[in-house]
Structure 1
Amino acid sequence: ADSTTLEFLHHFVGALASGDVLLSTSRQAVPTQLKDLTLVDVCLRKLTEKATEDFIINLFDGRRVSERVLKLLTSRTDGIPLFIEELVNMLKQKALVGDKGGEIDFLAPDKLDQVPTSLRESLQQKLDSLSHAKETAQLAAT
């Protein structure tokens, strides 16, 4: 699991009192067979533009981040926290960003075509980097 999920689960388990709990996620409505149960519906929303920028800055350890980096990440991630994390990590790993004049900025603007434009493209890039696991993942997705 990713670090955000692990952090959530750790917090969730620590906050639980004794009792039975079922945690489930779905994009669909609760089935009618479960309507009589005591349910807490938590709807996750995308981050606002300001919250996205704050999150990006936090992922760069609170350092100053150039407007170009903020705009690119904000426009391509659509406020999805996991995707924001993925793109920031990818930029760091590929050394596409770094300190430039006291702020985080693109080191090689000519290589921005390496930055995925969508979550689907990001996942495809990850799959493409895998060898044998790629076929398994594609088969599992069908």
Structure 2
Amino acid sequence: MNKFARIGITSIALLGAVQVASPVTAAPAAPTEQFHVCYKNSDCNMGYSAGVLDWNDGGHAQHLSGSVVNRTNSDYSTTVVFEAYSFDEKVDSDSRTSRNGTHNFDVFLTGWMVNRIKITVCQNFPTGQKCGAAEHYYYG
């Protein structure tokens, strides 16, 4: 075997070894975003919800973790409502309520091609429920 053939074969062997030893790159992490929604946008003192929205599985299952906070020693409770949408169609919903202080939660919303989460904070008074303006969070 001539000198140039040995150099070529050695180079190819080394290139293959370098490629095998290279680390595999992981898939990018699902995007996350923080949310903070108040009963009254100008005053979060009466009740609010805050946490993290994790867009898991490419828009198929969303994980929300955080808390809903109600003013302590009040005659009302605070409810946060989560709604998952696939374009204009609601595909799942869930809610959590705090009657006095802070209530932590972990919520999973599922559905095909979820691209929007709507979060609404409501007050539950003895005379009925009143809700603040909804906040919308979009995938992508």
TM-score range, shorter chain: under 0.3
Greater RCO structure (CA 8 Å; 6+ sep): 2
Max Rg structure: 2
Q: Greater helix share, 1 or 2?
A: 1
In the superposition, the TM-score normalised over structure 2's length comes to 0.20
> Structure 1 length normalisation: TM-score?
0.20
